Chain A
Amino acid sequence: MSDTAIRIRELTKTYGDRRAVDGLDLDVRTGEVFALLGPNGAGKTTTVEILEGFRDRDSGEVAVLGTDPHGSPRAWRDRIGIVLQTAGGLDLLTPREVLRSTARSYASPRDVEEVLEATGLTEKADDRIAGLSGGQRRRLDVALGIVGRPELLFLDEPTTGFDPQARRDFWGLIRTLAHDGTTILLTTHYLDEAEQLADRVGVIAAGRLLALDTPAALGGRQSQEATVSWEEDGTRRSVRTATPTAEVATLAARFPGEVPELTVTRPSLEDTYLGLIAPHVTDERTEVPA
């Protein structure tokens, strides 16, 4: 098995005179969870649809599991799983019926009962899909995406509209899949989701890769100044510092006991992300009316 699940070089795609993808280079390693972030219109969806074999590129090289997705040969489809951003329909069937039928298209599918169990749908297996909750319906989409035992899974905004508990449960499911060796390409608007799940994060805007790193290190987060805050004389006070430990020690000496309401924070992934895309978001809004 190759070390690289997805290899993209100089990828471009133009709609009219707008460059949706503009010379993108990116590698996704086999076995990792890779989160692709970017504002609407950044070229995320176009890129993912080219990788999924749904859309043709203008130029550049793309290899997904060593195969050019253009033309999407059946043997290649057998090795990938796709969870689409919006999936509906199937209302009149049950999860078990759809999973069984879908599994039959694949060369070595997972056991349907096992997939129902893993996605927490065993109890709903014989209910009409129309009656499932939003979270259950999304778990069914994932079940359909993994029933073929894919080596690579595309997850497009999987938890939009979930309540917090449903998201936590869903993340557990994704972690299990990643643990079993499935390579996952995740696109999401939730920064905490990327932080929770991804081994590496890529930020794209205006069709180019702006930053690529682990969630913890993205955009130099680790080396940026920390903010130390506390309550004093009824007001909130804070100091930005490169040496937060020393600052806390000084505070500890000044106060008799606990420092009131003490917090030490570094820029969140969200802050870093918003900082990265800020110049491009303005461009987007002026150049490309939605």
Chain B
Amino acid sequence: MNAIALGLDRTALELKMYSREKEAVFFSFLFPILLLSLFSVIFSSQFDQNGAGMSAAHYFLPGMVAAGVLLTSFQTMAMSVASERDDGSLKRLRSTPMPPVAYFLGKVGLVAVSSVLQLAVLLLVARFGFGVDLPATADRWLLLAAVFALGVFAGTVLGIAYSSLSSARSIGAVVIGPMLVLQFISGVYIGWDSVPEWLRQVASLFPLKWIAQGMRSVFYPDSMASVEMAHSWETGRTLLVLAAWAVGGLLLCVTTFKWFKRGTV
């Protein structure tokens, strides 16, 4: 079989493993959906009283979409690759004639399927569960696709590179801790307008802030652009920053990837 066919076969296998791991499904796939529902219910009265013309679900949707992107790509990759390296799965794969690219195609396939599925569920829940109006114009959908694809790709390669930082035993803490902090300062759980200026500066160094900003430009009315740091959506810069993270992540991934655990070969 050629590399593409083997990559598809690996994708099927990866999806089986992912769907059977309840913790992964819960913490990366269902978590943003659950939180969106929870926040929408808990904060519904506050938002109605504001009269801002935006429901809680609408307010939190872009952040949850952005968090979902990084959870299904970055978090899933960092944790699964670290454990596969530690338990010898990678070394075993390397001992077969499977072309290495097939392994990465399998990972990309897993992230593509799970993240698109998660986005679809998030949008369905927002639209039909909480009556959020989804974008009405084609260019907004196009922008959604672009930010989403760049975010997922960057998250995937960065996650694979990040997996080399730690052993499987501690990778959970090494991934989830920083991810949680990033989500708080990037406007996912707490409104971007409530984050202090200096923390916004810190958040701007990482991709999650830009994914969230891109998603706000997709789902929010244009009048909301005033809450952004530049008082505009900065669409061009958002795409550029995410593309830079994607390319940088790919280079990092290719140059640092190891099939063997530290201290063995």
Contacts and interface: CB of A to CB of B under 8 A. Distances in A.
Contact of B6 (A75, A86, A104): A104
Contacts of B94: 54
B169 to A, nearest CB: 13
Contact of B99 (A74, A88, A107): A74
B13 interface: yes
Contacts of B6: 104-105
Contacts of B21: 92
Given A93-B16, A104-B1, A105-B1, A77 B95 contact: yes
Given A88-B89, A92-B17, A97-B16, A102 B265 contact: no
Interface in B67-122: 83-84, 87-89, 91-92, 94-99, 102
A97 to B, nearest CB: 7
Given A54-B260, A101-B10, A84 B96 contact: no
Nearest to B1: A104
A191 to B, nearest CB: 26
A90 interface: yes
A174 interface: no
Interface in A209-260: none
A88 B13 contact: no
B228 interface: no
A78 B96 CA distance: 7
Interface in A79-100: 82, 84, 86-90, 92-93, 97
Given A86-B88, A87-B92, A106 B9 contact: no
B178 to A, nearest CB: 25
Contacts of A37: none
A93 B17 contact: yes
Contact of A54 (B91, B97, B102): B91
A89 B87 contact: yes
B231 interface: no
A267 B126 CA distance: 79
A79 to B, nearest CB: 9
A92 B20 contact: yes
Contacts of A148: 96-97
- By DSSP majority rule, is chain B's interface helix, strand, loop, or mixed? helix
Contacts of B92: 82, 84, 87, 89, 144
A75 B96 CA distance: 10
A199 interface: no
Nearest to B20: A92
Interface in B1-17: 1, 5-6, 9-10, 13, 16-17
Contact of B95 (A52, A101, A107): A52
Contacts of B1: 104-105
Contacts of A55: 265
A237 B226 CA distance: 101
A106 B83 CA distance: 25
A193 interface: no
Interface in A104-153: 104-107, 128, 144, 148
Given A89-B84, A90-B89, A101-B9, A77 B265 contact: no
Contacts of B83: 89
B97 A77 contact: yes
A77 B93 CA distance: 11
A74 B96 CA distance: 8
A34 B6 CA distance: 34
A41 to B, nearest CB: 15
A49 interface: yes
A74 B95 CA distance: 10
A84 B91 contact: yes
Contact of A87 (B9, B20, B88): B88
A144 B88 CA distance: 13
B97 A105 contact: yes
Contacts of A88: 87-89
Contacts of A97: 13, 16
Nearest to B102: A105
A23 B6 CA distance: 40
B16 A74 contact: no
Interface string A161-201: 00000000000000000000000000000000000000000
B13 A49 contact: no
Given A77-B95, A93-B17, A144-B92, 9 more contacts: A82-B95, A84-B92, A87-B87, A87-B92, A88-B88, A89-B83, A89-B87, A92-B20, A92-B21
13 contacts: A74-B99, A77-B97, A78-B97, A82-B95, A84-B92, A89-B84, A90-B89, A92-B21, A97-B13, A97-B16, A106-B96, A107-B97, A148-B96
Interface of A: 49, 52, 54-55, 74-75, 77-78, 82, 84, 86-90, 92-93, 97, 101-102, 104-107, 128, 144, 148
Q: 10 smallest A-B Cβ distances: which pairs?
A: A89-B87, A88-B87, A89-B89, A77-B97, A105-B98, A82-B95, A92-B20, A78-B97, A92-B17, A74-B97
